[in-house]
Amino acid sequence: MTTSTAQQIDPRPLLHDAVDWVRGLVDGVAVERYGDPTPCDEFDVRTLLAHLAGIMGRAHAAGTGTPPLERPALVTGISDDDLAAAVRQAIDALEPLWHNDTMLDEMIDVPWGRVPGRGVVWGYLNETLVHGWDLAVATGQDCEADPAAAEAALATFAGFLPAEPRGGPVPFGPVVEPAADAGPTERLANWSGHARIDRGR
């Protein structure tokens, strides 16, 4: 998918599908798994959930005209018993937004620069899918989201983020060679530098 093609596609339905998938994953996580590792090296399951709540909060902010950087990337001060509910609440708040078509062309400041609203949605779609995959891998759940959303995100993201350089000012690890049986969500995660982990099973 070319950059011009991505600019013509409305990514909002894809984002809604992705956050619905993540909601189901969150529902399937037992509190006892919160200390388990994830493919995202700096996060265990607990901090990954807190980051997912932060992602949804930032996407919500962008959709309401609030600078996303005013929202934390990782929510804090939430007990283990309330963490899953916090992610679900953030998803519930996000889903009704972005209904105004003009928002897709408005310029918005986000962590990766000043981009049109359409690019903001693509960015948060990528983050939602990749970190949803992290959560699914870490907790032994179905790792594949809607193939249409993952394929579109991969085609778009690969056009914006080349294989090199990575690291330093580019906050992504080296591209991971996909497994022979990798689906589109895993391939997207691999392009973002995330790899499967051994859950000890």
Report if residue 199 sits inside a domain. Answer: no
Total tally of structural domains belonging to the chain? 1
Whole-number average pLDDT of the chain: 88
Report if residue 56 sits inside a domain. Answer: yes
How much is the CA Rg of the chain, to the nearest whole Å? 16
Cα of first residue to Cα of last residue in the chain, in angstroms, is: 37
CA distance 125 to 131: 10
Low-confidence winner among 8-17, 83-92, 160-169 (lowest mean pLDDT): 160-169
The answer for residues whose C-beta is within 8 angstroms of residue 201's C-beta and 6 or more apart is 140
- Are the C-beta atoms of residues 108 and 69 closer than 8 Å to each other? no
Report if residue 200 sits inside a domain. Answer: no
Report if residue 154 sits inside a domain. Answer: yes
Percent of the chain past pLDDT 90, that is, above it, reads 61
Report if residue 197 sits inside a domain. Answer: no
Report if residue 84 sits inside a domain. Answer: yes
CATH number at residue 89: 1.20.120.450
CA distance 13 to 8: 14
The pair of structure tokens assigned to 90 is 């953030």
pLDDT digits (tens, 9 = 90+) for 53-65: 999 999 999 888 8
Domain span at residue 80 reads 3-191
Low-confidence winner among 37-41, 49-53, 113-117, 138-142 (lowest mean pLDDT): 113-117
Report if residue 196 sits inside a domain. Answer: no
pLDDT digits (tens, 9 = 90+) for 14-31: 999 999 999 999 999 999
pTM: 0.90
CA distance 15 to 148: 11
Q: How many residues does the chain have?
A: 201
